């Protein structure tokens, strides 16, 4: 009996990486100017940011259908395998509910659907941690329990290069976004229980990086048994600086950097940089 792990594309795990990790990946759809694209299949991350910058309206995402999960669930049921689904935050999407409905349709009790309460790097950390535990030989119960506990310990912090996309998404008045642009304000956001929150701001990239490190200081007890990941939207330059500074300051090993896709990228806009990790 095998343990199958399934996640969705807002985890920002690519299909190539999913194959290497021996997990399955369910794509969400990105809707841009009345056209829909399956994330990671019909549109790449680079193409998404090109569209984001030129689109007349802010892109949106559509949840997959229960059938997207049901195919995997029925295969697992027929093989007698266990299934762990780690989904995009229910507060951001109906993906979690689609997976729950697909489980009911499959009529198979060995399916465990977990609301990550996260997206992008936060969701990725949980998925990669689950894969690590599976590959270490942990039982399905041990993995599910560990992820349910760990999801409350996820920290994701991101610095935005612009306020434009928060304003377009209705999270800031236009006047504030314009003033912030003139002053080169770089807001810092986090994701808590599926909601985006602004937790700080700075003028210019140097001050923003300093702010980011100060915020990370509030979590001195990294859980180094879980992955520590960095992310960026469109351009990696500032993320590379963060990775260099944070790896050195906190003596972090084997950290990796990934492009951030549409779910957070729509609100963050190009030029953002981020870190995701678990704290003890």
The pLDDT, as a whole number, for residue 201 is 85
C-alpha torsion 113→230→260→136, nearest 10:
-30
The structure tokens listed for 142 are: 């041990």
Position 154 pLDDT exceeds 90: yes
Q: Starting at the edge strand that comes first in sequence, how are the strands of the sheet with 29-32 ordered?
A: 35-38, 29-32, 60-62
pLDDT in tens, 14-45: 999 999 999 999 999 999 888 999 999 999 99
Cα 32 to Cα 60, 160, 186, 196, 238: the distances in Å are 7, 22, 26, 21, 27
Position 171 pLDDT exceeds 80: no
CA atoms within 13 A on the CB side of 100: 8
Regarding whether 180 and 137 lie in a shared domain, the answer is no
The vertex-46 CA angle with 44 and 47, nearest 5°, equals 65
Which of residues 51 and 162 earns the better pLDDT score?
51
pLDDT band at residue 203 using 50, 70 and 90 as cut-offs? confident
Which of residues 206 and 196 earns the better pLDDT score?
206
CATH of the domain at 235: 3.30.1180.10
Regarding whether 131 and 50 lie in a shared domain, the answer is yes
pLDDT in tens, 213-266: 999 999 988 898 899 999 999 999 999 999 999 999 999 999 999 999 988 888
Regarding whether 208 and 159 lie in a shared domain, the answer is yes
CA atoms within 13 A on the CB side of 160: 26
Regarding whether 262 and 132 lie in a shared domain, the answer is no
The number of folded domains in the chain is 2
Regarding whether 144 and 186 lie in a shared domain, the answer is no
User: What percentage of the chain reaches a pLDDT higher than 90?
Assistant: 71
* Cα 105 to the center of its chain, rounded Å: 27
Regarding whether 107 and 170 lie in a shared domain, the answer is no
The pLDDT, as a whole number, for residue 248 is 95
Q: In b/e form, how buried is each residue of 171-206, taking b as 16+ CB within 10 angstroms? A: bbeeeebeebeeeebbbbbbbbebebeeebbbeebe
Regarding whether 172 and 81 lie in a shared domain, the answer is no
Regarding whether 171 and 205 lie in a shared domain, the answer is yes
Given 150, 180, 211, the domain boundary residue is 150
β-bridge pairing 273-278 and 154-159: antiparallel
Position 170 pLDDT exceeds 80: no
pLDDT band at residue 164 using 50, 70 and 90 as cut-offs? confident
Regarding whether 192 and 127 lie in a shared domain, the answer is no
pLDDT band at residue 106 using 50, 70 and 90 as cut-offs? very high
**What is the full DSSP assignment across 130-196?**
HHHHHHTT--HHHHHHHHHHHGGGEEEEEE-S-SHHHHHTTSS-HHHHHHHHHTTEEEEEEEETTEE
Range of the domain at 212: 154-278
Q: How many residues does this entry show for the chain?
A: 280
Regarding whether 106 and 197 lie in a shared domain, the answer is no
pLDDT band at residue 167 using 50, 70 and 90 as cut-offs? low
Rounded to a whole number of angstroms, the CA Rg of the chain reads: 19
pLDDT in tens, 118-136: 999 999 999 999 999 999 9
CATH of the domain at 15: 3.40.50.10170
Regarding whether 128 and 217 lie in a shared domain, the answer is no
Helical pair 205-216 and 237-250, crossing angle rounded to 10 deg: 40
Regarding whether 199 and 145 lie in a shared domain, the answer is no
């Amino acid at each position: 009996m095998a343990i199958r792990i399934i996640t969705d594309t807002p985890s920002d795990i690519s299909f190539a990486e999913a194959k290497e990790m021996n997990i399955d990946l369910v794509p969400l759809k990105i809707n841009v100017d009345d056209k829909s694209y399956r994330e990671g299949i019909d549109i790449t991350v680079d193409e998404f940011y090109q569209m984001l910058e030129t689109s007349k309206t802010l892109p949106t995402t559509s949840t997959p259908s229960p059938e997207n999960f049901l195919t995997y669930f029925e295969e697992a049921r027929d093989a007698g395998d266990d299934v762990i689904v780690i989904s995009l935050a229910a507060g951001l999407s109906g993906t979690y509910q689609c997976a729950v409905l697909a489980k009911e349709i499959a009529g198979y009790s060995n399916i465990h659907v977990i609301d990550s309460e996260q997206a992008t790097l936060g969701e990725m950390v949980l998925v990669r941690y689950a894969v690590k535990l599976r590959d270490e030989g942990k039982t399905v119960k041990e993995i599910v329990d560990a992820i349910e506990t760990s999801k409350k310990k996820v920290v994701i912090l991101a610095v935005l290069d612009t306020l434009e996309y928060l304003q377009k998404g209705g999270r800031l008045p236009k006047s504030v976004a314009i003033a912030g642009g003139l002053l080169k304000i770089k807001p810092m956001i986090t994701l808590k229980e599926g909601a985006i929150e602004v937790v700080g701001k700075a003028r210019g990239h140097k001050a923003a990086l300093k702010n980011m490190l100060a915020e990370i200081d509030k979590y001195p007890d990294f859980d180094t048994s879980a992955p520590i990941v960095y992310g960026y939207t469109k351009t990696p330059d500032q993320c590379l600086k963060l990775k260099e500074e944070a790896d050195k300051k906190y003596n972090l090993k084997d950290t990796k950097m990934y492009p951030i896709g549409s779910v957070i990228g729509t609100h963050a806009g190009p030029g953002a940089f981020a870190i995701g990790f678990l704290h003890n």
